Amino acid sequence: MDGHDSEDAKQSTADMTIFVQNLLQQMQSRFQTMSDSIITKIDEMGSRINELEQSINDLKAEMGVEGSPSPLPPSKSVADEVKKDEGSA
């Protein structure tokens, strides 16, 4: 093995190191871009949910049911239904 082969190996190793470093930098940049995009979309979703929640509260206030648990009337019990059916039979 002469000095020329040793220099080629060193150059090859240096080239490979630079290639890998560039590749890792590109990957880091892409991951950062994706991460920023995901965070932006999550923030937008949070804002939309807050707007939706506010709209629901506004509608409730307009309807005057702010304290009511549900807009549906209370349902009849099964026992009341059975009694009514027995009386008509």
Under 8 Å between Cβ of 45 and 37: no
Q: What angle do CA 63, 69, 71 make, to 5 degrees?
A: 45
Tens digits of residue pLDDT in 39-65 = 999 999 999 999 999 999 999 999 986
Asked if pLDDT for residue 74 goes beyond 50, the answer is yes
CA atoms of 81 and 87, how far apart (whole Å): 10
Concatenated DSSP letters for 33-81? Answer: HHHHHHHHHHHHHHHHHHHHHHHHHHHHHHHT-TT-S-SSPPPPPHHHH
What is the pLDDT at residue 64?
87
